[in-house]
Structure 1
């Protein structure tokens, strides 16, 4: 194979002020067993029309494995048309000196003299935003760009919608990575805002974090007919204009769907639109009047219970029988630092402060108790960290 991608029809979309990126991005957090595994996955990404690679120092040996893979492929003359676009990250809160050292080490591991995109990895709390806009983070990003080491800066976030909106409106960033999912569209307005401001928008794990759609329940499969849940989820995001969707592949076959959809940036078909209506209707039918509409009106909770996030899991468990996914997410609560919620439904003391706020008069304390009974199980380990 020469330096041209083997999927010549693969589309590219603008990504902030940097090089255009493929509709799918290879996330490197799953190909960590050996450097050979990383090589096989990266080569498969070329075949799938992918030109954008997402990595981070926090992903264990990912950067070192990726750098070795890129060197091997370069020697073979294998690369996407126009070359690779690489995004890496830095955790918030580091000092200017430590951040400078980390960036240089990152570039050495990757074998590059310049990083296309550098993101703050987990802009999740107010102190992170302060660090990025006024503290050492601001100085670090300015230094990286003025030294010509980084093309553009951005952020990923698992934080509140309000915090993310503040970051987007700050003018400090040119791209963002957000949790945008078919089964949880509450952050889509933030993506629209970012796109309107000319920022690149990357959807974080729309398959796994979006409901483990690579292994859907029989109920969800039936609800999305005649389309596969994962394909429908990808098309939902791509048709909305999201710049690129991340795929955490562990083997070449994980990229088959991305290869099939590499040019699939057109509007939804009538069949896809009908499937989305059917999906939502069936969830509503199963949940009835107990469905949480995710309006956030119940917040803040005096005991810091993240009511909408927990009732969203209930919606998915009872609405589409996503038992494994919902149990996994629920039992990470309090065990993932600032990356996920800190309190589960057992923290509800039935103070009833939420009840008059709910526009649908949901019996929220009862629903929280049911959620805890449905989903509480022995904890599972996070993918990384």
Structure 2
């Protein structure tokens, strides 16, 4: 497996990493087998999150007995306070069964208020500095979907890595965010390299090879089978750039996929009815693409305002840069989440 430096940290991370969200749908034993197969195939970067239910525990099972110094372990927290940040690290260390987590990230920082909180007095960055002193973590990074917020965050110089969605369908990061990360020598971690599952198995290899010509450190597709491990890791071993013909083929595939899916840019917000539109579509994506129906429905039902509260005012659609039929998509998302039994008809 080829390796690239994780920015100024200098850690030699495998080009293909392991995204931890998909193991939620496996048993602990199944997940351990998949994780170990990835490690044996040359993967040395694993990413999870406190929000991924039992993902950390399952990854920990796969790590048991594997040389700790042969893998870079990353996780993340949604907590914005120093106290909460430290508490989540303690949980993650216990779940993984390790003393030190290499990289701990602020998860989905998406607005000015959240960024100000994590950087301010009593904020998560204070917790990160304390955790580094204690030897609980080695470095801190940030993740998100709103490029403008990430640009402001990394401009502070307080983060070692930046994780964001980037794929052949979503290339807006090429304008400013990616160059800014390169200029500051940040480790660049690519999430959703397969567009949240929009690229099927027949397109996955080319979609991953797409990144070989870009200055990213590590790409973290989710993997929940030995076949996926082998297919994904082959890209990192062979290091074959896309040919002109393959690029044309991939573009044709993109045209077939269409543009009707949420990129979580959040331009549609705020909703007059207070629906968290990107979250509804994110959960619907887990329902339809990740085979995490139960997980998605549980979180959807916990939303303070669900998609059926839409009054069809159309304000969101007037703001959407992708011209998505948001009102119809909200109706479809609610149908999926309200009646999981519809799976029997698929």
**Which TM bucket (shorter chain)?**
0.7 to 0.9
Matches within 5 A, 1:370-385: 371=329, 377-379=335-337
Conserved? CA contact 1:56–1:88, under 8 Å: yes
Q: Structure 2 length normalisation: TM-score?
A: 0.75
> How many Å separate the matches in 2 of 1:100 and 1:304?
35
1:279–1:117 CA distance, 2 compared to 1 (3 A): same
What stretches of structure 2 of length at least 5 have no aligned partner?
341-346
Matched, 1:114 2:100: yes
Measured against aligned partners, the alpha-carbon deviations of 1:355-378 in whole angstroms (never above 9, x if no partner) come to 6x9999x8x8xx555656776633
Conserved? CA contact 1:235–1:264, under 8 Å: no
Matched, 1:243 2:243: no
Q: Report how many aligned residue pairs link the two structures.
A: 328
What stretches of structure 1 of length at least 5 have no aligned partner?
1-9, 215-227, 314-322
Q: Structure 1 length normalisation: TM-score?
A: 0.68
> How many Å separate the matches in 2 of 1:352 and 1:31?
37
Match of 1:252 in 2: 226
Matched, 1:204 2:191: yes
Match of 2:173 in 1: 187
Matched, 1:13 2:4: yes
- Alpha-carbon offset, residue 53 of structure 1: 1.2
1:125–1:251 CA distance, 2 compared to 1 (3 A): same
Matched, 1:230 2:204: yes
1:87–1:336 CA distance, 2 compared to 1 (3 A): farther
Measured against aligned partners, the alpha-carbon deviations of 1:322-376 in whole angstroms (never above 9, x if no partner) come to x9559x99x98x93889xxx88698475578986x9999x8x8xx5556567766
- Alpha-carbon offset, residue 302 of structure 1: 7.6
1:142–1:354 CA distance, 2 compared to 1 (3 A): same
> How many Å separate the matches in 2 of 1:108 and 1:192?
37
Q: Secondary structure at the match of 2:220?
A: strand
1:353–1:122 CA distance, 2 compared to 1 (3 A): closer
> How many Å separate the matches in 1 of 2:166 and 2:44?
21
Match of 2:237 in 1: 263
> How many Å separate the matches in 1 of 2:271 and 2:88?
40
Q: Secondary structure at the match of 1:118?
A: strand
Matched, 1:38 2:38: no
How much is the aligned-residue C-alpha RMSD, in angstroms?
A: 4.4
Matches within 5 A, 1:1-385: 10-18=1-9, 19-32=11-24, 33-74=26-67, 83-96=70-83, 98-134=84-120, 135-158=122-145, 160-189=146-175, 190-207=177-194, 209-211=196-198, 213-214=200-201, 228-265=202-239, 267-279=241-253, 303=272, 324-325=288-289, 335=300, 347=310, 367-368=325-326, 371=329, 377-379=335-337
Measured against aligned partners, the alpha-carbon deviations of 1:76-110 in whole angstroms (never above 9, x if no partner) come to xxx8xx611111222222442x4324323422432
Conserved? CA contact 1:92–1:131, under 8 Å: no
Conserved? CA contact 1:25–1:52, under 8 Å: yes
Match of 2:344 in 1: none
> How many Å separate the matches in 2 of 1:34 and 1:280?
33
1:309–1:269 CA distance, 2 compared to 1 (3 A): farther
1:304–1:192 CA distance, 2 compared to 1 (3 A): farther
Q: Secondary structure at the match of 2:169?
A: coil
Conserved? CA contact 1:66–1:110, under 8 Å: yes
> How many Å separate the matches in 2 of 1:243 and 1:167?
19
Conserved? CA contact 2:85–2:128, under 8 Å: no
> How many Å separate the matches in 2 of 1:104 and 1:85?
18
- Alpha-carbon offset, residue 272 of structure 1: 2.1
1:352–1:59 CA distance, 2 compared to 1 (3 A): closer
1:95–1:266 CA distance, 2 compared to 1 (3 A): same
> How many Å separate the matches in 1 of 2:97 and 2:108?
24
